[in-house]
Amino acid sequence: MLEDLYIEQPNQQIREEVLKNWQSVLLPDEDMGILADLTADYLMMTDGRGIRGVKPVMLLMCGDHGICKYGVSAFPQEVTLQMINGYGRGTAGANVMARHAGADIIVVDVGTNFDLQAFPHVRQCKIAWGTEDFTQGPAMTKEQAIAALETGMRIADEAIDHGCNLLETGEMGIANTTSTAAIAAGFLDLPAELTTGRGSGINDERMKIKTEVVRRGLEVNKPKPGDGMDVLCKVGGYDHAGLAGMILAGAARHVPTMVDGVNATAAALIAYGISPNCAKYMLCSHLSSDVSAKKMLEVLGLKPIVHAGMRLGEGTGASLAISILRSALDTYRKLTGE
């Protein structure tokens, strides 16, 4: 599946036509700003088919991380399980925001450290029981990475086959911001100190531990800058891999992805490292307050739709941005008569 991937450039002419249509209904001193650009980008990415409306689906990829045992998060690994249980009850912030955006949620166990077979709302796709401790060696094998990528691709294809025309990233896995910091540092060839953020709001003591874990992971594994597959195998997570696969599959079928916070941006960076053209089918929901977010977005060439200081992840920022996209499209249709 991955070896047959082909992603073509979107039709820039569609974008130019949409912007021209916006200008035709506005007075000279009026400017719709980001709403015009957002509409034009989305319609370009969907070959104009998105004009009929947004049908979003969030793929919420869940995976645990072997480096959690070092105390890099404010929460224990058991919170991964608690949050997944909350998704089933519909009580998590991800559920509330997705409902507001009109997005269905597909929760996927790509690599948690828990037996979730009794959870009917979870797609059972476990590649492994969490990643390996990347301070001791690679987080996963290449075979495992490909399996996780293709899991995301397969589920994205299923969603698209059922009418989805906008994919939305969601992720859950305690300690995943540590893997994200290592992905950003490895891919961008930066020291750990420039990519490691406070994630779940850790204190200074945990921050020192987290930074050292990232530094050791880079030192031991020596990921190749710019090589998405190599970086994923050495310091990534199964949640990152599932999302990267989703992004790649969507791009191949001209279905864009609304990228959420810093963890999803790291997954987008992995996808970009595997097939750079996929970045042409990404929309950036918001600028995460995490330190590495801006650096990764610059490489991807993405501009945030909103600046809200959000740090939760789990697709919440993406859902907020989808509501803005829906409003922009509705306005465009009514003003232009499309």
Predicted confidence (pLDDT) per residue in 295-326, tens digit: 999 999 999 999 877 777 889 999 999 999 99
| pLDDT of 337 over the 80 cut | yes
| pLDDT of 171 over the 90 cut | yes
Is 9 among the domain residues? no
How confident is the model at residue 29, as a pLDDT?
63
CATH of the domain at 102: 3.40.50.10210
Is 19 among the domain residues? no
One-letter amino acid of 280:
K
Cα–Cα dist 220/288, whole Å: 28
Task: Select which of 143, 171, 314, 338 is catalytic.
Answer: 314
- The pTM for the full model equals 0.96
Q: Is 205 a catalytic residue?
A: no
How confident is the model at residue 3, as a pLDDT?
85
Predicted confidence (pLDDT) per residue in 115-148, tens digit: 999 999 999 999 999 999 999 999 999 999 999 9
One-letter amino acid of 96:
V
Q: What is the CA radius of gyration of the chain?
A: 19
Is 219 among the domain residues? yes
Mean pLDDT of 50-78: 95
Is 332 among the domain residues? no
* Phi (first) and psi of residue 98, to 5 degrees: -65, -40
When divided into structural domains, the chain yields a total of 1
Is 45 among the domain residues? no
Nearest-CA neighbor of 254 among 152, 166, 159, 154? Answer: 166
How confident is the model at residue 312, as a pLDDT?
75
- Which strand ranges, in their side-by-side order, compose the sheet holding 122-124? 122-124, 104-111, 56-63, 166-172, 257-259, 282-286, 304-306
Is 140 among the domain residues? yes
Containing domain of residue 178, as a range?
Answer: 54-323
E strand segments, the chain: 56-63, 104-111, 122-124, 166-172, 257-259, 282-286, 304-306
Predicted confidence (pLDDT) per residue in 222-245, tens digit: 999 999 999 999 999 999 999 999
Pick 108 or 1 by higher pLDDT.
Answer: 108
* Phi (first) and psi of residue 120, to 5 degrees: -65, -20
